[in-house]
Chains A and B, each alone.
Chain A
């Protein structure tokens, strides 16, 4: 039983990593007042760019750079439309999602002629699992050893990076001058402008950070968790991350917990399939699949309470006299 739990938590870490990265990316964007429904598109675009880069240059790190570049590029397009030209954030985000879904497959067909997929990656072209020091030695120690060597050790570096990003984000948002301004821009851009700080510049910087984090999430999907790009491989993770962001009320630690919950439910769904539960019998696949969504609705309705976003989110900032 304990071992099963450890394995389920292990799977939870793997599955929630892209969610955490994408949700934190969304956190930066939305805290600065930019609605980012284009998380999905950025993840997908970066997954493709990372896999393509890793396949061509044979290095996962170069792939990661390409992924981040692609994702930041998309974020800048979003910024150009929403900040500079005061466009509608949702329209721009959806446009990015749609363009990327088509563009990745088209470019993939043209470059690799494998039906929109990239070649399968192996060796250095993938982020491989890291065994933490003493993991093997401690494996035989009951409970603590198992937690350390099975649960904490043996993930790839991007998993650790994702978890490290949570305290970093907390620090940036709440403890730095940039974070204060970022939050202020999302709540009351007029006040920030009065203080002589450029609203547009703060928002652009927020989007660059958003792009970098989404880039890592995408690279994780195609070069760490899987080995290669497959069309539509982001499979709604961007939207899930957005849901986790609202669920976690735009705060780093609750967002992390929301992502872990989603990941855990996913892992449970995988594990419970075909298992005979006492008194119920075998649970049909459909019932298990729906579990994460039902729980989300129940938790949101019953326990979390009202989620209120940044006040100025989604509204373009217009200087009063211009």
Chain B
């Protein structure tokens, strides 16, 4: 008998973290579950490889995990007990400026305020009031805005108005829905560099600072500014833990089994086709891959209603993605700016180059135009600072990221093949500028680049290199993500659900799309929500 002959209660398409989490919950609920994955391994963006030298572990995509301790999935699925270990850097982020000064964000927010105060006492005070306020409603807002199906923005703003929140809160207001992150920062802060540091946090969460309307969720984003975690042993460890939970609960994960078609009979999804043949889904098929692949590639056109087809074709992706440089290093870097703030040497996520809000506007405008800046602005992280196991003793693993166009002005996406190595060198040169001279000369052993085009070829879910799997824009958030019709995790095809990063809230290691799809599936299928005890 073949391994697929009996079929499964649920078939999950794609073994990213959302699909695997959904599979784990369903398996723990007593369902027979199969996760079918096109690639050679599970994990999706939780991908750790030795791309430079042996024993240097590089997280190719997912590197920053910001919802540890907040996301219910970690506890529900006992991921720590199944092998996940996180480091929580005490110096979370930093900025190094051209004049040799630096800012640092600490888990101890008094230290953050002290760092801010060196640039502006007023802003340091504002920051502490903002932080105190955000901490009050952070848990509530995260659960409302992330770990529940989307609520309409109008409902949110009506509630804020009805409850008079504007009079009770210094920072939360209904009018945020029409403001950009940059406008929010301009309204409350005076110092350009502090604003740049806070905007950098938004930008690495894919919130472009000048997009109107994103300020409405920015306070929640700020609440996570001290919650960046490094997954020890590489992000792929999280995928292994998910795999263990699934297997222990009796589920199966099948790498190298690409789904070629979702089979529909009588208007209902009844299974999938693979190169090995038909696999029956007794209760449901859930797709964790992007909506374009789901509706335009895997479903035969006659099963896709006209409205669905039209709206899916209009789904927007990020107009600036990431170029990555993975670096094997001879040790931990030391920075000239440590003379100003010694903690900068221990800052995990570094902004090198964004000194004002205008810099973000310029950088993203360049990316939209398909151009590469001559002097790249970096997002640099040395995981070995907080996870020495990711490199040989005394050595270190580094990651540089740059906001970049998917298609270059001169030659389109495939032109990256010509310029990748050279642009990687430019990124390294920019990093060396801020290091002390000894390190600048000798610290880099080898490096490997990944262009947006290469990323999209490998991770086909990341259309146009978009790791958020859909633009972060008010038109593509909450009740509009990925489309008005598909925002609720259900589809017009009975038995077919959506559980991937195309869905609300967005990509990143949130587990939220999978978790929210689970809630909807539980309601439809009468599953006892053992995980949902208020």
Q: Do A and B bind each other?
A: no
- Taking Cβ atoms with an 8 Å cutoff, the residues of A that contact B are none
